[in-house]
Chains A and B, each alone.
Chain A
Amino acid sequence: MKILVAYKRVVDYNVRIQVKPDGSGVVTDGVKLSPNPFDDIALEEALRLREKGVATEVIVATIAPADAQAHLRNGLAMGANRAIHVTTDRPLQPLTAARALLKLVEKEQPGLVILGKQAIDDDCSQTGQMLAALWGKAQATSASKVEVNGNTVRVTREVDAGLEVLDVDLPAVISTDLRLNEPRFIKLPDIMKAKSKPMETIALDALGIESGDHLKTTQFAPPAKRSKGVMVKDAAELVAALKSKGLL
């Protein structure tokens, strides 16, 4: 079985996001870019399934500008067998990304697609579900445990009420939550090895999909700030303060 991992490049999670003064976007010039942390978890899970003998091949795919090759090399260094780079200069909304991924799915026929439950840039949390819908296959979002048994996967999902366990038939789409695994560190020899692994490049326009970018972002603003309050010296002062505000 092949596993396709959707592997998005985003602003690194340690970067303090700044909104441009004119409200036209966030500052991305010169900021560090990294794999979406949830997608790193997705890739790690795919690699573990290959190591267990469940999967035979792991493909990382991204939809990004031409300079994202280093990003894909990172996924190859982590252990993916090969990479697919769908090139485009504009950021895509999830419906378009899902349509593009569907084209890759139709071509590669993976048994499983694994991706992060959300990307930490747009925080949409849509692409996996949309891909599963367009593909007509099962989805299991926010996975914290994945067990493949033949043609079925038992997935434990982190839901508001606790942990939900689903059985889904393959092929399927799984989106990963934080506690599914801890991604491995990349070792230097793996970086060297990754240089010779195959990377296929396809222009987004060549996929022949209809754009689903229906939404227009008209303004970016910094969030409303909470102001710093007062410091109290002990428990008694705190309780008195909360009582005077009518909170206790």
Chain B
Amino acid sequence: MSKILIIAEHASGQLNPSTAKCLTAAKQMGASAIDIAVFAAEPAAVAAQAATLDGVSRVLTIANAANANALAAVLAPQVVALAANYTHVLGPSTTFGKDLLPRVAALLGEAQVSDIMKVLGSHSFQRPIYAGNAIITVEAPQQRKLVATVRNASFAATGNGAATAPIEAASVTAELPTHTRFVELQAGAKDRPDLQTASRVVSGGRALGSSENFNVIYALADKLGAGVGASRAAVDAGYVPSDMQVGQTGKIIAPELYVAIGISGAIQHLTGIKDAGTIVAINKDGEAPIFEVADFGLVGDLFKVVPEIEALL
């Protein structure tokens, strides 16, 4: 049986939902134990949240001032020290997990399975390649430790369980490097639902034409209680910050409702939304590829149609 260690992602005392999604994937691997490790300066609050998740065996806290910010180079040797007791080490396929897990894998001398989208067995998975244009089945050797990242959009988050898992302080012996120092995080305004976890997302594309015009998107999103995303073209044009980019090289999301406005539907954008429940596309070009994947398509001028929709809500 597998013994699985999940590295928790968190910020400002809040557990990121990506951790509960990793847990869902871990449970499908036939584990005898699933522990969640919380690396932080003060891990108590995050550990308490992790302990309520259904199916967690233990929550391990690694309190260290050096863990105040998630620096891959600082965390990796500590994860390696903990990993000795586990068959699997998992993290989310977010910018946090993508930065950390390969560093862990290399220190362990192991390969890594990136972006697990389906669990077929304890060592057998599906993952996307070529921007999701092909799906491969990957077999990892049973006798080796498995290091992997789990694609957020492919797994529902595990909810709270009946019991609370024990929280234990773990001591790890590892030499921590000083070559990497956190300076600051320039975070965007967080007055809207988080793009990666929102059940509704409204995105705008190049057709918006300016950052001022993006107010059309924000207004509809606020009416819907939706997160706001953007195409790569809109980000490259400087209309919105890069953390709003949806697509293969931005965020891969799976909301229940996705509304693409003025987005033509480049393949790299479609890769980021294909797990969405319902896709709505509004575009003035009836030939735009976005209509090939949209459940509902509307050809029209977004500056006319979107306010009309908003007025009907």
Contact = CB atoms under 8 A, between A and B. Distances in A.
Interface of A: 11, 16-17, 19, 26, 93-95, 98, 118, 120-134, 136-142, 144, 154, 157-169, 172, 177-179, 212-223, 226, 228-236, 238-239, 241-242, 245, 247-248
8 contacts: A163-B242, A164-B186, A167-B183, A177-B249, A178-B236, A212-B110, A226-B292, A235-B308
Given A129-B106, A162-B185, A238-B298, A216 B139 contact: yes
Contact of A124 (B112, B181, B236, B241): B112
B73 A126 contact: no
A210 to B, nearest CB: 8
Given A123-B130, A218-B137, A247-B256, 13 more contacts: A16-B133, A121-B129, A130-B105, A138-B180, A139-B73, A139-B180, A161-B187, A161-B243, A163-B243, A165-B183, A169-B179, A229-B295, A242-B296
B284 interface: no
Interface stretch (B41-49, B95-103, B157-165): B95-103
A247 B114 contact: no
B292 to A, nearest CB: 6
Contact of A160 (B94, B113, B236, B291): B94
Contacts of B114: 123-126
Contacts of A236: 308, 312
A120 B312 contact: no
Contacts of A141: 72, 95, 98-99
Contacts of B113: 215
B193 interface: no
Chain B, interface residues (CB within 8 Å), range: 35 or more
Given A165-B186, A232-B296, A120 B131 contact: yes
B81 interface: no
A121 B133 CA distance: 10
Interface string B276-313: 01111000000000011111111110000100110011
A213 B112 CA distance: 10
A226 B179 contact: no
B177 interface: yes
B192 interface: no
Contact of A218 (B107, B139, B185, B300): B139
Contacts of B257: 242, 247
Contacts of A221: 134-137
A242 B280 contact: yes
Contacts of B299: 231
A166 B179 contact: no
Nearest to B256: A247
A70 B172 CA distance: 49
A130 B103 contact: yes
Nearest to A231: B297
Contacts of B296: 229-232, 238, 241-242
A178 B102 CA distance: 20
A101 B83 CA distance: 26
A245 B140 CA distance: 41
A140 B178 CA distance: 14
